[in-house]
Amino acid sequence: MPALHNLLVKILPPTYEVLAQMEPYTEDKITIIEGPPPVFELMRTEWTQSLAEGPVLSEVAMTRLRTFNGPSLVERCHRAWRNRRSIHLEYRSEEGLLQKAPIVAARTVNTEEGDVLMLWIRINMEESEVTFERETWNEDAFDEAFDADYDEDDLMEDGYDLAEDDEFFDLDDNDLFFSSDDDEESSEDDDDLNLLV
């Protein structure tokens, strides 16, 4: 082994030697060790679709996981990407089978209950059996909300008079998408805790 080390020192610059000693390769992953299977929300935005490009049909989905060490998990992702390695989310499916999906983006948010780790993962649509919570755009919900008969004399439930608001009629396509605020409120009510390592 010392002979190999001396050979590497002669061939490689010193910076590579230090990196090789400091970071031995281990499989980069974030594992859910406790709690229910993650809920994935299909993301169809410009930047997430650019992350899904590749030789196989894939989509980018986001999941929110509660953890005690969010910043260190995001740093683990950054370290893997900095070293040009992929990192995976490892979880159990509803059937109890071990599943892996490559993580393409990560972010942590501090809340009163602890850190929330937001992971964007690439899902191979040809091989995956993942079910999604819902898509970003829900045309049926939009139609149901605005197909009801409207009486101009009635006020809305919160006392707001829609007839006096001209801005409502000037909505553009961006206003017709769901907000992620609803998902954050529902995750706060959830008593299940995903434990990550």
Name 111's Cβ contacts closer than 8 Å, sequence gap at least 6.
188
Out of 1-5, 51-55, 86-90, give the one with best mean pLDDT. Answer: 86-90
- Residue 27: pLDDT over 80: no
> Rounded to two decimals, what is the model's pTM?
0.54
- The mean pLDDT value for 34-57 works out to 82
* pLDDT tier for residue 185 given thresholds of 50, 70 and 90: very low
CA nearest neighbour of 41 among 141, 140, 138, 132: 132
What whole-number distance in Å separates Cα of residue 152 and Cα of residue 150? 6
Decide: 59 and 123 in contact? Cβ < 8 Å: yes
State the helix-helix crossing angle for 2-11 and 14-22, rounded to 10 degrees: 140
Show the tokens assigned to 171: 């909505």
Check residue 156 and report its DSSP letter.
P
- Residue 18: pLDDT over 50: no
Name 73's Cβ contacts closer than 8 Å, sequence gap at least 6.
30, 67, 106, 108, 117, 196
Q: For residue 42, what pLDDT is reported?
A: 87
What whole-number distance in Å separates Cα of residue 102 and Cα of residue 31? 12
* pLDDT tier for residue 16 given thresholds of 50, 70 and 90: very low
